[in-house]
């Protein structure tokens, strides 16, 4: 009789442990399933282009997707790394989550795409640098806002 009770308690604790680890795993990527509407502007010789390019940034399972980068350079996705994840209180006593993220990928032709950006709640701004053989080929600045407004 005591063995059955001990086994039930053990199974119950194992279930709670599994649920706890599962919830912890879901919280690791704050950008997961977020979509941002972006406005890209190309900069050449410190002169900003007059026309901006509309794009969407998608994030899923540690991968960064961009319609522009896929269409122009053929990159379906780029793995990203969150360098800074902090929460601060702004002037209106509201907690704001700040993320600093970067993504780098190099193809077989020694062409490197470097993406660096900062998100502050639902706003995003950053830059994209494309280099070939370590020489700057193209430079884009971007700003945007999360699709659908303020995240949950």
Per residue in 51-103, pLDDT tens?
Answer: 999 999 999 999 999 999 999 988 999 999 999 999 999 889 889 999 999 99
Looking at the predicted structure, is the pLDDT value of residue 24 above 70?
Answer: no
Model-level pTM? 0.77
Cα-atom radius of gyration of the chain, to the nearest Å?
21
Is the predicted pLDDT of residue 33 greater than 80, yes or no? yes
Closest CA to 121 of 94, 152, 97, 101: 97
């Amino acid at each position: 009789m005591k063995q059955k009770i001990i086994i039930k308690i053990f199974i119950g604790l194992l279930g709670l442990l599994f649920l706890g680890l599962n919830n912890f795993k879901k919280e690791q990527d704050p950008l997961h399933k977020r979509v941002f509407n972006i406005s890209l502007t190309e900069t050449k010789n410190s002169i900003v282009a007059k026309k901006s390019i509309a794009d969407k940034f998608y994030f899923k399972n540690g991968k960064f997707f961009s319609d522009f980068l896929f269409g122009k350079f053929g990159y379906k996705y780029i793995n990203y790394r969150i360098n800074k994840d902090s929460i601060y209180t702004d002037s209106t006593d509201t907690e704001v989550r700040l993320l600093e993220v970067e993504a780098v990928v190099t193809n077989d032709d020694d062409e490197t795409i470097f993406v660096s950006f900062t998100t502050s709640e639902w706003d995003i701004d950053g830059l994209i640098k494309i280099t070939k053989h370590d020489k700057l080929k193209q430079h884009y600045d971007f700003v945007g806002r999360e699709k659908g407004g303020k995240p949950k």
